[in-house]
Structure 1
Amino acid sequence: MKRGLIAATAVAGMLVSVAACGSSDNKAGADGYKGQKLTVWVMSGSNPAEWTKQVSAQFKKKTGATVEFKVQQWNGIQQKLSTALSEDTPPDVVEIGNTQTAAYAKAGALADLGDLKKDIGADWNASFNKAAMADGKQYALPWYAGNRVVMYNKKIWAEAGLKDLPQTRNQLFKAFDAIKKKTDAEPLYLPGQNWYFFDGLTIGTGADLVKKSGGKWVSNLGDPKVSKAMDIYKQYQAFSDAPKNKDEATPQQAEVFAKGRTGAVIAMGYEAKTAIAANPKIKDDIGFFTIPGETAAKPEGVFLGGSNFAVAGMGKNQDLAKEFLRIALSKKNDGQMVKEVGWTPKSPDLADAAKGNPAAAAAAPAAEKSAGTTPLIPQWAAVENVPNPIKNYMTAVLNGKTPAAAAKDIESEINARLAKQ
């Protein structure tokens, strides 16, 4: 999932069911793959320059083979990837959004990576790895993921007399109130349809967005725990002048923040670069902290969005592909992803890497204690297709409807989408 903002879409129906029976033509050891080339599909913006450079060099040194990264665009990737994985010569390794992995696994398109996970990922955060599994089996390995933090303007907080960062949700709301009363800044920029922030709140309240009924998955949006999460969102949004019928990308919230009169945004860490690109003068004013929860002991619930690496089930170079994954997902290279991009550390050993990136350091506590994803069922992908009905639910509640009434209005649409899979 690109930066946690790209909605998962339904896997194209053309993907044929294939057994994970591919094999490597060469099972030799170090330097035994000399002259071979491994094809790895990555999404635009996913593989940062230094990470790519060091992984490529390490892979060639260890195996004698070369790796070709083929960059794909998010637009239309579901159909393109579905087609590629069903062919006799698929890409060897593919990047798949973490909320989309279950759909490809169900189609039989991915190799089982359980043994590899035991070798290299014994200490990975369970929240990261959960989205790489389906039906109890390991069909992918987590590459990177991130969760939202509070990105705040230090100058505005100082104007409001705020010296200590909030440790609880109530303290955060009091800070927003102080900004509102003591400055001319907007305390928080939060449009009404920041769906992934809302999903995090449902994780925090223990809500399930779907449930089983008559052997089928159906909407659970009417659950009181979902209503509680929406009420929390409404409390946040009350501090914002942002439109109630837009999401964080229309306009890009980082560009709004860059203007210098916004106290805070609920953001992914990489959004700081967007803000600085729009206004370089704001660089030294940007700070980050973990989104505080109801108590200081547990941060707010967060959606952990990112991507997994998977091996094509029909691939002919599975042994070499696994060697690539051993290198690409080593602690050294995972640490590079954290430092270079600001992704959330997926193991305790990456804590030092996070210290070099304030956004990653702020994201880590919630990822460890309060993270989750959207429902990890193949049917869920269709729910988030544009237009996402849950965004309409959010706007309706913010405009005065009760959560129960707003849920009732869209549950038939959610159920219809769930039934298509």
Structure 2
Amino acid sequence: MRNFLKNGTMAVAILTGLGTVPGWADNLVLWVNAPLASGPDAPLYAELKKFEAETGNKVEVQAVPHMEMERNLFVAMSGGAGPDVMALDIAWVAGLADAGLLMDITEQSAPLASKYQPGPFAGGRYEGKQYALPLYTNNAALIVNDKMLAQAGIDKAPTTWGELRAAAVAMTNAEKGTYGISFGSNRMGAFQLYPFIWQAGGEIIDDKGKSHVADPEAIGAVDFLAKLYTQDKAMPESVLTAGNWDEVHAPFIQERAGMVISGDWAIAAIKKNAPNLAFSIHPLPQGKKAATVIGGYNLAVRQGTAAPKAAFQLVEWLTGDRSIELMGKYQRLSATAAATTPEAIAKLPKEMQPFMAQASAGHPRPVVASWSEMHGVFGNMWDAVIRGRPAAEALAEANAEVENLLAR
């Protein structure tokens, strides 16, 4: 990220039109990921009208595609422009904070900490300081083809690693071209495997910044998953090349794979492309303990905004208790603690309930400045293991690379 800032200033002029520093404290520019502002009737706009009426502040919304958001933020803000408040994938917080582009909101957010789920709240913290609050959360769960599971002679979705392997093997039939579970390659596969490391009792990077990538728990988790392909042949060949969610979901949607590990974003894809497919969603099968990987978006304030008080007020407004109703209109999960009560979960659509039910077992990915590069290291490691390299050997090499990145 530091290298990007050194080399990216020439592009600032191109992007300053995407957001400007407000001339007075009651005008705010808000960048959000495009789906939240998909049209004039998007729920966000009605909520912002309430904010404006309550506070007197004015908010200009600018929608940015997810794939362009991180780079646009770095380029615009490194030149002193950009939004006052921005929506961030939780994986971006550390890099932006490390570059000095986010306002420290530790003092303002401390009294609010209990309002949020611990995992998503921790995802906005970097080096002991809070830089963002969670707008919405998601996590990875197990999605099952109910018909294929029943045809394999299994009457309930797997709840343990042993049951997961047994179900995957039972649904695999070389003659019919069916497999037990769809999985991604490289970075996609890495995202899916992180929960298994935590479930095994392992860690990736601890709170003191020490790497545990080559610990026995991590080796055991990677080895277990990789053998579903290399030994059991229970994953389709697409595991070698599936580099986006559409490719990960495809074997499941085509009913060639009986299970897939994914998030709530898979629901719309399944219903659109396979409207007659009977499927159910379940918490991830447990190892030594329950765990899942947290995703989602946070809201943060730009360092140097001319309206810091109003900007934080907007962050608190959109991420607080009001977010349960607001995020529900988007079929997304609020990251507030209040959203995890049995009463709140019961009000969610049936397909969303398992995700919130396992929210307390959620882990954010390590909040370190070089995480994006580390995620690439994990992706390369996963690719090597599913192609036959021993897990211990591949993880030892990955650990050395991660340690180098931490030292840098």
TM-score, length of structure 2 as denominator length: 0.82
How far off is 1:84 after superposition?
A: 2.5
1:414 to partner: Cα distance:
4.4
1:3 is matched with none
For the residue of structure 2 that corresponds to 1:305, the secondary structure is: strand
Partner of 1:320: 310
Structure with more of its chain in helix, by fraction: 2
* 1:201 matched residue in structure 2: 196
Q: Is 1:287 paired with 2:280?
A: yes
- 1:404 Cα deviation (Å)? 2.3
Q: Which residue of 2 aligns with 1:141?
A: 133
Is 1:363 the counterpart of 2:355? The answer is yes
**Which amino acid letter does the alignment assign opposite residue 123 of structure 1?**
K
State whether residues 114 and 337 of structure 2, in contact with CA within 8 Å, keep that contact through their aligned partners in structure 1.
no
Q: Secondary structure at the match of 1:314?
A: coil
Contact kept, 8 Å, 1:97 with 1:307, in 2: the verdict is: yes
Aligned partners of 1:149, 1:339: CA distance in 2, in Å? 21
Structure 1: give runs of 5+ residues left out of the alignment: 1-8, 17-21, 27-35
Q: CA deviation at 1:83?
A: 3.2
**CA distance in 2 between partners of 1:242 and 1:365 (Å):** 32
Match of 2:244 among 235, 246, 249: 249
> What per-residue deviation string (whole Å, max 9, x for no partner) do you get for residues 361-383 of structure 1?
212243202x2233221122333
Amino acid across the alignment from 1:368: S
Does residue 224 in structure 1 map to residue 216 in structure 2?
Answer: yes
Q: CA deviation at 1:191?
A: 3.6
What amino acid maps onto 1:265 in structure 2?
A: V
Distance 1:144 1:183 in 2: 43
Matched with 2:157 is 165
Q: How many residues align?
A: 386
Q: Is the 8 Å Cα contact of residues 89 and 315 (structure 1) preserved in structure 2?
A: no
Question: 2 CA distance for matches of 1:324 and 1:405?
Answer: 48
Q: Is the 8 A contact 1:335 1:345 kept in 2?
A: no
| Aligned position for 1:375 | 366
Deviations 1:47-103 (A, max 9, x none): 576431332222122123332221123445444312332444541101222122122
Secondary structure, aligned partner of 2:381: helix
Cα distance in 1 between the residues matched to 2:68 and 2:22: 29
The corresponding residue for 1:343 is 333
Instruction: Give the letter for the 2:294 counterpart.
Output: L
Please list the CA deviations of residues 241-294 of structure 1 after superposition, one character each: whole Å capped at 9, or x if unmatched: 233422452752223322234311101112121122223333xx1210101203
* Contact 1:97 1:306 survives alignment (8 Å): yes
* 2:179 aligned partner: 186
Q: Say if 2:295 is the partner of 1:305.
A: yes
Shift of 1:150: 0.9
2:4 aligned counterpart, secondary structure: coil
After TM superposition, the structure 1 = structure 2 runs for residues 377-416 of structure 1, keeping only pairs within 5 Å, are 377-384=368-375, 388-410=376-398, 413-414=401-402
Q: Which residue of structure 2 lines up, in the alignment, with residue 30 of structure 1?
A: none
Q: Which residue of 1 aligns with 2:64?
A: 72
Q: 1:41 to 1:412 in 2, by over 3 A?
A: same
Q: Is 2:321 aligned against 1:331?
A: yes
Instruction: Call closer, same or farther: CA 1:329–1:393 in 2, change over 3 Å.
Output: same
Please identify, of 218-227 and 395-404, the stretch whose mean Cα deviation from structure 2 is larger.
218-227
CA distance in 2 between counterparts of 1:189 and 1:348 reads 34
TM-score by length of 1: 0.80
Q: Which amino acid aligns with 2:372?
A: A
CA RMSD between the two structures:
3.3
Give per-residue Cα distances to partners, 1:307-330, cap 9 Å, x unaligned. 211111200112221221232112
2:103, 2:238 → 1: CA distance? 44
Q: Which moved more, 1:196-205 or 1:234-243?
A: 234-243
Match of 1:44 in 2: 34
d(CA) in 2 for partners of 1:269, 1:11: 34
Cα separation, 2, equivalents of 1:199 and 1:117 = 28
Please name the residue that 1:277 is paired with: 272
